[in-house]
Amino acid sequence: MLAYTMSSSDKLKLPETRFLTPKEDQQLTDLAEDIAEKMLGPDWKERQEQRRAALSEESVQQ
Amino acid sequence: MPGSRDSSQANMKRFPKALTPSGTATTKGLRDANAAATHQPPERNPCLKPGSIDHLGGIFPTWSFRPQCTNFVAARHTSRPNAERGKPPSKLSRKLVKPGKIAFVFDTVVPIMQFDRDKPNALPIVYAAALAKHFDAYLETGVRQVNVVSHTLADAQTRILGQPIFMGKIQPGSRVLIVDDVVTYGSTLANLRGWLEQQGATVVGATTLAAGFGGTKLALPDNVRDRLLDRFPRQAETLANQLGFSAECFTNREARFLTGLKNEEEMQRLIVAAQELTLLQVRQLSIGRTNEIDPPSHPC
């Protein structure tokens, strides 16, 4: 088995981590909507809502 | 319950048999099956722990993972820059999407929506949109990774410590296909699965454009789990708890890395680092750096 080696220092260097800013969160939303509109068509949101309603109804029936 | 390993729990951790793939391998068959899909109520899984932000995680069933191409084709593909900028429909998605290989019954596609360093990663979204279009499935864009931890070229300990955190709602009862660009250690897929199933959705599979060596075997095999817990009986559970789940929930590659650590000191250093990171993230949250992002709900 391979033996993995780690840093020789006593303390590990923590990975850089941060939370999304509201601006970045909006960027993600805009990107996703842009891609969806181009790939699924301009009316994708309406169709998605219809599908979601159908899924929800199906879930309730079961 | 973290720390407990009785046989009943060991059985519970396995993926419910009710979710075994239907075997509908063809596109037409899959579409028909999707149309006729019946919802199976999700079973509780000890790897899907509700709770604080650090209580996320889960195992991923080996059978439900089907990479769509040979390793790292996406990384070499000349269309990648366009796809990364979100220029759909890209040649990349058209060439790599092989829906016939996805033999699951699903009604919702959830891409990994994340920032990679300082820019949003468009690849999973483009791929997910292509799949949603092909299978006439719902494209869920409201669930996203809210912490930014660059995993590209990261080493194993960074990947294990920097667990992705997800927020955003999913329709309970949805049968979900998770979509990402690359799988390496499986932490992102496992954590998103945990987040979605905690809300009552059922993750039936995952697909990526490329996979690192050994990355597609996500579920933790019994022998690897036993080896890990034999080597580090207390520390493995402590580390897992610190990361937000139980030792049973490490992915295959995470567990293999931990099993290969030289000694207890190395494991202890990981635990200390995980504790520090958790504190750091809680502090970041508490001082409101996520201003307009709702904190995760706690069903329990």
Structural tokens at position B171: 């329709």
Q: Give domain status of residue B108, yes or no.
A: yes
Q: Which residue would you say has higher pLDDT here, B90 or A62?
A: A62
User: Where does the pLDDT of residue A40 fall: very low under 50, low under 70, confident under 90, or very high at 90 and above?
Assistant: very high
Give the residue numbers spanning the domain of A38.
22-61
Q: Give domain status of residue B3, yes or no.
A: no
Q: Give domain status of residue A3, yes or no.
A: no
The predicted pLDDT at position B95 comes to 60
Q: Looking at residue B108, which CATH number applies to its domain?
A: 3.40.50
Q: Give domain status of residue A29, yes or no.
A: yes
- Phi and psi, residue B217, nearest 5°: -90, 85
Dihedral of the CA atoms B271, B275, B280, B284 (nearest 10)?
Answer: 120
Give the integer Cα–Cα distance in Å for B192 and B178: 8
Q: Give domain status of residue A40, yes or no.
A: yes
Q: Count the domains in chain B.
A: 1
Q: Give domain status of residue B270, yes or no.
A: no
Q: Give domain status of residue B258, yes or no.
A: no
Q: Give domain status of residue A31, yes or no.
A: yes
Contacts of B51 by beta carbon, 8 Å cutoff, 6+ apart: B244, B298, B300
Whether the full predicted model's pTM is greater than 0.80, yes or no, is: no
- The ranges of chain B with pLDDT < 50 are 1-81, 88-89, 289-300
Q: Give domain status of residue A14, yes or no.
A: no
Q: Give domain status of residue B239, yes or no.
A: no
Q: Give domain status of residue A35, yes or no.
A: yes
Interface residue A47 vs chain B (CB under 8 A): no
Give the integer Cα–Cα distance in Å for B265 and B261: 9
Give the integer Cα–Cα distance in Å for B73 and B164: 24
The predicted pLDDT at position B37 comes to 36
Q: Which residues of B touch A47 (CB under 8 A)?
A: none
The predicted pLDDT at position B235 comes to 95
The predicted pLDDT at position A55 comes to 74
Q: Is the peptide bond between B89 and the residue preceding it cis, with omega within 30 degrees of 0?
A: yes
Q: Give domain status of residue A2, yes or no.
A: no
Q: Which residues of B touch A36 (CB under 8 A)?
A: 125, 129, 139, 141
The predicted pLDDT at position B226 comes to 95
Q: Give domain status of residue B114, yes or no.
A: yes
- B113 and A32 within 8 Å at the Cβ level: the answer is yes
Q: Count the domains in chain A.
A: 1
Give yes or no for a contact between B178 and B189, defined as CB atoms under 8 angstroms apart: yes
Contacts of B173 by beta carbon, 8 Å cutoff, 6+ apart: A55, A56, A58, A59, A62, B39, B200, B201, B202
Give the residue numbers spanning the domain of B162.
22-217
The predicted pLDDT at position B2 comes to 34
